[in-house]
C-alpha cells in the first residue's frame, strides 16, 4: 500500500487496480440487486422495509468506495466539493446509525486530482478512526475543516469524544503517515479532555517549510470553537 501513495502506479498497476475496482463495483451492484429483489418478493411490509434499508446502506458503502478510487485522469477538481460528497457517503454508511454527526466546514479549493484523492483517503481514515475509538457507543460529533493557509492547505479532523492518548497506531494511521509524505506534508494529533484533533498541513503549490502553519494546541482549540459555529452538518 505505501508504494501506491508514494508514486503514480505503473501501467500494469493501474490495470490491476481498475480490474479490482470493477469487480468490487459489480459485487456491490449484485448485492444490492439481490437484497432489493428479495424485498420485492416478500409479502411482509416489515421485511420489505428492513431489506430496503439494508440495500440503501450497501449503496452508501458503494458510494464511499467509488469516491476513494484512484482517479483515472489528471486535472484540477474542487477539493471542497469532493470532500462534501465523500463525507456525505461516510455519514450515511457508517455514522448515522451510531448517532454521530459529521460536520464539514470548507472553502472552494482547486487541487490536482491525485492529491485530492490522497487527501480524501486521509480524511476517510481519520473519520473512521474517530468513530471507532472516540465515543464508546455514545452519540457525538466529528468535525472536518479544510481551508487554505498562506500557500498551504490545512485540514483538521476533530471529535468531541474521549479516545485515550495511549491508543496504539494501527495500519490505518500508518497509511495516513505515508499519504502525508506523498503530499510533502506534516501530520499531528492532539489529545485533550474535549476530544482528539488530527491536523494535516501540506503545500498548496510546491514543497516549503510548513511547521510555521502548525499552531499551538490552545490556538487550535480557539479556532475550532470559531468554525464550529459556521459549519453545516452533513445530511
Query: Tell me, what's the pLDDT at 59?
Result: 86
Contact yes or no for 105/145 (Cβ under 8 A):
yes
CA atoms of 104 and 102, how far apart (whole Å): 7
Query: pLDDT tens string for the chain (235 positions)?
Result: 333 344 444 455 667 767 777 788 888 889 899 999 999 999 999 999 999 999 988 888 888 888 888 887 788 999 999 999 999 999 999 999 999 999 999 989 999 999 999 999 999 999 999 998 889 889 999 999 999 888 899 999 999 998 665 556 678 889 999 999 999 999 999 888 889 999 999 998 644 444 444 555 555 445 444 444 445 566 5
Query: Tell me, what's the pLDDT at 215?
Result: 52
CA atoms of 184 and 181, how far apart (whole Å): 5
**pTM, 2 dp:** 0.76
Is residue 186 exposed (0-12), middle (13-18) or buried (19+ Cβ within 10 Å)? middle
Displacement of CA 132 from its chain's centroid (Å): 13
Q: For residue 152, how many other CB atoms are within 10 A of its CB?
A: 20
DSSP secondary structure string for all residues of the chain: -HHHHHSPPPHHHHHHHHHHHHHHHHHHHHHHHHHHHHHHH-S-HHHHHHHHHHHHHHHHHHHHHHHTSPPSS--EEEHHHHHHHHHHHHIIIIIGGGTEEEEEEE---EEEHHHHHHHHHHHHHHHHHHHHHSSTTS-EEEEEEEEEETTEEEEEEEESS---TTPPP-HHHHHHHHHHHHTT-EEEEEEETTEEEEEEEEESSS----GGGS--HHHHHHHHHHHHTT-EE--
Is residue 134 exposed (0-12), middle (13-18) or buried (19+ Cβ within 10 Å)? buried
Query: Tell me, what's the pLDDT at 14?
Result: 66
CA atoms of 234 and 78, how far apart (whole Å): 18
Query: Tell me, what's the pLDDT at 168?
Result: 61
Query: Tell me, what's the pLDDT at 140?
Result: 95
Is residue 91 exposed (0-12), middle (13-18) or buried (19+ Cβ within 10 Å)? buried
Query: Tell me, what's the pLDDT at 117?
Result: 93
Amino acid at each position: 500500500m505505501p508504494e501506491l501513495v508514494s508514486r503514480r502506479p505503473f501501467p500494469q498497476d493501474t490495470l490491476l487496480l481498475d480490474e479490482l475496482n470493477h469487480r468490487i463495483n459489480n459485487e456491490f451492484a449484485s448485492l444490492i440487486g439481490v437484497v432489493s429483489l428479495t424485498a420485492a418478493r416478500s409479502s411482509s411490509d416489515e421485511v420489505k422495509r428492513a431489506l430496503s434499508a439494508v440495500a440503501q446502506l450497501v449503496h452508501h458503502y458503494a458510494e464511499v468506495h467509488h469516491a476513494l478510487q484512484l482517479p483515472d485522469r489528471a486535472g484540477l477538481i474542487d477539493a471542497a466539493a469532493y470532500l462534501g460528497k465523500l463525507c456525505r457517503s461516510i455519514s450515511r454508511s457508517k455514522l448515522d446509525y451510531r448517532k454521530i454527526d459529521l460536520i464539514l466546514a470548507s472553502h472552494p479549493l482547486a487541487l490536482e486530482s491525485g492529491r485530492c484523492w490522497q487527501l480524501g483517503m486521509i480524511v476517510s481514515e481519520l473519520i473512521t478512526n474517530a468513530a471507532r475509538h472516540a465515543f464508546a457507543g455514545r452519540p457525538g460529533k466529528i468535525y472536518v475543516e479544510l481551508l487554505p493557509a498562506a500557500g498551504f492547505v490545512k485540514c483538521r479532523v476533530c471529535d468531541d469524544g474521549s479516545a485515550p492518548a495511549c491508543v496504539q497506531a494501527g495500519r490505518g494511521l500508518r497509511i495516513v503517515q505515508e499519504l502525508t509524505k506523498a503530499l510533502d506534508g506534516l501530520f499531528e494529533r492532539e489529545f485533550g479532555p474535549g476530544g482528539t484533533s488530527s491536523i494535516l498541513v501540506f503545500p498548496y503549490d510546491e514543497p516549503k517549510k510548513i511547521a510555521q502553519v502548525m499552531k499551538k494546541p490552545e490556538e487550535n482549540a480557539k479556532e475550532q470553537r470559531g468554525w464550529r459555529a459556521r459549519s453545516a452538518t452533513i445530511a
